[in-house]
Amino acid sequence: MEAVFHGKIINGTFIKYDGKLVLIKLKSGYDVALLVKELSSFKIIKKETAKTDKTLDSRYAKEDHPDIALINTGGTISSKIDYKTGGVSPSVPPEYYFKIAPGLKDFGKIEINPLMSVLSENMKPLDWIKIAKAAYSSIKKGAKGVIVTMGTDTMHYAAAALSFLLNPLSVPIVFTGAQRSTDRGSTDASTNLLLSAITASKWEGGESIICMHATTNDDYNFILRGNCARKMHSERRDAFRPINFKPLGKVFLDGRIERVSVPMKRAEETVPNLYIDQKVRLLMSYPGMDGRQIEDAVKEGIHGIVLAGTGFGNIPLGDASIRKALSNADAENVPIAITSQTIYGPTNKFVYSTMRELSMRKNILYLGNMTTETALVKLMFVLGKTKKMEEIRKLMVTPLAGESSERNEIDEFLI
């Protein structure tokens, strides 16, 4: 449509008109709302029939021997604004990525797998199994790297899951997404896709990683160990930060990669370990907490609990109902994994006498500096493999994919 605003001609795509305002999408991707009373004129100059995005290049399809596999699961990076609701919805086919990031074509044969189209808050643990199976299939076909595009809200859960489900790994699996939808001028999707492709094709390690903005600008992206990272802001481009571990590296648009930390070595062959037990509950300790949440979980037949304590992993044992609930969980052979709400820093069962007492129970597992989200995923994975308490304890406190370490360095805080 065309509108004349204070003598200036404004062209764009008509969105809506409510009698007072006319909303137009500019070519830049931004929307502008104009007061009708301040317009000299406005009119529709051309009507277009809505088109479904089609494959942009026939070679971006299923490949027998792909250089990179791109698995699309939905999320903001696959979304456009839905003008019926005013929100974004996953409506963009993965082929569209080559329109917003044409540089992808420089990375050889790319296999596209439109695996699912869901917002990440709706993703379930069994969906992680589907992603792992799809990645493994592409690796078996010869992919030198895998990119998984998804929503950012639970990306760190999925990236942690893949670190256990495919372990060891012979190639990098790179998770990426966007904080701005693809039809916005400020979208970070283009940069994240290109830098993820560079990472997938060049990164020396074999592990599940996250590649997202390191700053609010397009300077470079962090390469983060997937099970040692977390979304730390709801809207900033640089929302993903390393937790209790330095970034693995930095990747730049000119193709450079700067290694910061030692990555997991590539294995000769990727090994699938597709175990998940979804009957795990995540609880938080808080002032005034009693034992009912733990009791309810045990009565429901939950197989494991992750309990995020305060500070070093403290639980309010002054409440008799909590002591009783913990005893019942122990009797029912339900493991309780303790993490810290502080996000940074480890749990420590030796500082306070109450924690020493608690740690004597066979079902209580203090997980050191493992993140709460990774602890949840790992307990699901471990319980999928075994229900024997001694084996659960050994697997949970032993690093399987670099998810925890014996100590924290002073410069790992707030990177």
The catalytic position among 73, 144, 149, 152 is 152
Burial class (CB in 10 A: 0-12, 13-18, 19+), 55: middle
Q: What are phi and psi of 321, to 5 degrees?
A: -70, -30
The reply to whether 201 and 133 lie within a common domain is: yes
Residue 160 is given by DSSP the state: H
> Does 270 participate in catalysis according to the annotation?
no
The reply to whether 81 and 159 lie within a common domain is: yes
CATH number at residue 94: 3.40.50.1170
CA distances from 309 to 32, 139, 199, 342, 345 (A): 47, 39, 36, 9, 12
Question: What is the model's pTM?
Answer: 0.87
The catalytic position among 25, 73, 76, 154 is 76
CATH number at residue 343: 3.40.50.40
Helix (H, G, I), strand (E, B) or coil at 356: helix
Q: Which residues contact 16 (CB under 8 A, 6 or more apart)?
A: 22, 23, 83
The reply to whether 134 and 82 lie within a common domain is: yes
Q: What is the pLDDT of residue 90?
A: 72
> Does 152 participate in catalysis according to the annotation?
yes
Beta-strand relationship, 249-251 and 257-259: antiparallel
Cis peptide before 125 (omega within 30 of 0): no
Q: Which residue has the tokens 């994975």?
A: 381
Q: Estimate the crossing angle of helix 372-385 against helix 155-165, to 10 degrees.
A: 40
Bridge partners, residue 33, by sequence: 23
The reply to whether 239 and 313 lie within a common domain is: no
Residues 152-172: tens digit of each pLDDT: 999 999 999 999 999 999 999
Q: What are phi and psi of 173, to 5 degrees?
A: -110, 115
For residues 259 and 248, the answer to whether their CB atoms sit within 8 Å is: yes
The reply to whether 227 and 284 lie within a common domain is: no
The reply to whether 412 falls in a domain is: no
Query: What does the alpha-carbon distance between residue 281 and residue 328 come to, in Å, rounded to a whole number?
Result: 16
> Does 153 participate in catalysis according to the annotation?
yes
Residues of the chain where predicted confidence (pLDDT) is lower than 70: 27-31, 47-63, 82-87
The kind and range of the H/E element at 72 are strand 68-72
Provide the H-helix boundaries in 178-250.
189-202
> Does 342 participate in catalysis according to the annotation?
no
Beta-strand relationship, 336-340 and 304-309: parallel
Residue 267 is given by DSSP the state: P
Q: What is the pLDDT of residue 343?
A: 97
For residues 198 and 182, the answer to whether their CB atoms sit within 8 Å is: no
Q: What is the pLDDT of residue 56?
A: 42
The reply to whether 345 and 205 lie within a common domain is: no
The reply to whether 405 falls in a domain is: no
Query: What does the alpha-carbon distance between residue 125 and residue 278 come to, in Å, rounded to a whole number?
Result: 7
The reply to whether 202 and 341 lie within a common domain is: no
The kind and range of the H/E element at 378 are helix 372-385
The reply to whether 193 falls in a domain is: yes
Total residue length of the chain:
415
Q: What is the pLDDT of residue 63?
A: 62
The catalytic position among 25, 144, 149, 153 is 153
CA dihedral 96, 98, 104, 107 (to 10 degrees): 90
Q: What is the pLDDT of residue 301?
A: 98
For residues 72 and 123, the answer to whether their CB atoms sit within 8 Å is: no
Domain count of the chain?
3
The reply to whether 192 and 229 lie within a common domain is: yes
Query: What does the alpha-carbon distance between residue 367 and residue 326 come to, in Å, rounded to a whole number?
Result: 17
Lookup: tokens for 324: 């009783």
Q: What is the pLDDT of residue 17?
A: 84
Q: How far is CA 311 from the centre of its chain?
A: 25
The catalytic position among 144, 149, 183, 231 is 231
Of 74, 92, 84, give the one whose Cα is nearest residue 184. 92
For residues 75 and 120, the answer to whether their CB atoms sit within 8 Å is: yes
The reply to whether 128 falls in a domain is: yes
Q: What is the pLDDT of residue 224?
A: 98
The reply to whether 337 falls in a domain is: yes
Q: What is the pLDDT of residue 61?
A: 52
The reply to whether 336 falls in a domain is: yes
Query: What does the alpha-carbon distance between residue 227 and residue 380 come to, in Å, rounded to a whole number?
Result: 14
The reply to whether 317 and 214 lie within a common domain is: no
Range of the domain at 127: 68-259
The reply to whether 315 falls in a domain is: yes
The reply to whether 118 and 25 lie within a common domain is: no
The reply to whether 411 falls in a domain is: no
The reply to whether 254 and 121 lie within a common domain is: yes
The reply to whether 25 and 112 lie within a common domain is: no
Q: What is the pLDDT of residue 46?
A: 75
